[in-house]
A = this chain, B = another copy of it.
Amino acid sequence: MAGVRGYGGGIVGRFSDEPDEYPGVKEYHTARLNQIEGFFYTSDVLRKLADICDEHAGGLFNFHGSTGDIQILGFKQEEAEELFQKCTHLGFDLGGSGSALRTPSCCVGPARCEWATYDTLHITDNLTREFQNEMHRPTFNYKFKIKCAGCPNDCIASGARSDLSIVGVWKANIRIDQKEVAEYAKKFDIKKYVVDKCPTHCMDYTDGKLTIDDSNCVKCMHCINSMPKALRPGLEKGAQIRIGAKVPMVQDPRLGFILIPFYDVNKDKEEDYAFLKDLIQKIWDFWDEYGTNRERVGELIQRVGVGNFLEAIGLDPLPEMVEYPRANPFIKFEEYLVPDDEEEGKEG
């Protein structure tokens, strides 16, 4: 087996089936190094990583792995410990692998994007530090992924591949600069390319004036994307939390569903994300108690029922959680009236 002392993951072992014929790659392991949030580096630190990689591994990297880690490819188990310690001395730790929390990752967010409604780098860094143990010592039923996108464009593709996806969103009205709208109007047909494409048809452009019925806006970003100089996300910024996305194994691929339509992440930041951490812990506890081996949390929720899951983690059902309410009428009512007192009762 490949790995380092005290860690249950972070290194993926690979042994050749024909070690005698190919002694050079009889072992060819990969280390996952937790990337720097936002994928920001300095030349200095990169060169030092290159040196470590040359010295202890095959001189090959992935910048980055699909989860987000830096990967160092092609070392032998005997090099593992030194490679690891050199990395830690440079400030890098291992990322996740196996049935553990996987290395969280995020979009560039407020560092270089005007649309981020919260600090994606800060939250990702904070959660990563908080859950070092869950990342390095696999005790889950299966993997668990967290990704943070600053706005509904979801530039980290969190919605399709993270058990917990945090996506920035806002509440107040989209900020409109009519002068800049007029500038864009010179460049393209605003009615055709912006207004007519609004999914809820809540925009209007008449007599050179753009108006938005924000009460019907679903915060899709399209209009803002199209005219970044003229439109800006509304204030009252927060995030949406989705749960349960994953790719095919074992059940089939699925997108997540909205667990919290508006999470006041900027307020929670001031409290060291206490609310979020508590929520994550409750989800893990539930998964730990009811999940089976190799069952992602989304599959578990489907198996036991969304209602039961919500009850367990203490959230109320909301229409935002479903694409649409049920169409099939097989409702498992739990309340009923009892003949004697004609009072509403709960099933035993």
CB pair A328–B253 under 8 Å, yes or no, is yes
**B196 near A248 (CB under 8 angstroms)?**
no
The 0/1 profile, CB within 8 Å of B marked 1, for residues 307-348 of chain A is 000000000000000000001111000000000000000000
A330 and B248 contact, CB distance less than 8 A: yes
Q: Is A252 an interface residue (CB 8 A)?
A: yes
- A251 (CB) vs chain B CBs: closest residue: B328
User: Would A328 and B252 count as touching, CB distance under 8 A?
Assistant: yes
A196 contacts across to B, CB distance below 8 A: 196
Interface size classification for chain A: under 10
Specify which chain B residues have a CB less than 8 angstroms from the CB of A248 in the assembled complex.
Answer: 328-330
Q: Can you name the residue of chain B whose Cβ is closest to the Cβ of A329?
A: B248
Q: How far is the CA of A248 from the CA of B248 in the complex (A)?
A: 28
0/1 interface trace, chain A 230-271, chain B, CB 8 Å (1 if under): 000000000000000000100011000000000000000000
A252 to B252, CA, bound (A): 20
Contact of A327 among B253, B327, B328, B329 (CB under 8 A): B253
A330 CA to B328 CA, complexed, in Å:
27
Closest to A196 in B: B196
The interface residues of chain B lying within 8 Å CB-to-CB of A253 are: 327-329
**Interchain nearest-CB distance for A200 vs B (Å):** 14
Docked complex Cα distance between A94 and B97 (Å):
68
Q: How far is the CB of A261 from chain B (nearest CB, A)?
A: 25
Complex Cα distance, B252 from A329, in Å, reads 8
Q: How far is the CB of A43 from chain B (nearest CB, A)?
A: 41
How far apart are A33's CB and chain B's nearest CB, in angstroms? 30
Q: What are the residues of chain B within 8 A of A327 when measuring CB–CB?
A: 253
Of residues 160 to 198 in A, which have CB atoms within 8 Å of B's CB atoms? 196
Per the bound structure, the CA–CA distance linking A252 and B327 in Å amounts to: 9
How many Å from the CB of A224 to the closest CB on chain B?
23
Digitize A275-315: 1 where CB-to-B-CB distance is under 8 Å, 0 elsewhere. Answer: 00000000000000000000000000000000000000000
Enumerate chain A interface residues (CB-CB to B < 8 A). Answer: 196, 248, 252-253, 327-330
- Extra contacts, 6 of them, besides A248-B330, A252-B330, A253-B327 (Cβ < 8 A), are A196-B196, A248-B328, A248-B329, A252-B328, A253-B328, A253-B329
Query: Can you give 9 A-B contacts (C-beta < 8 A)?
Result: A196-B196, A248-B328, A248-B329, A248-B330, A252-B328, A252-B330, A253-B327, A253-B328, A253-B329
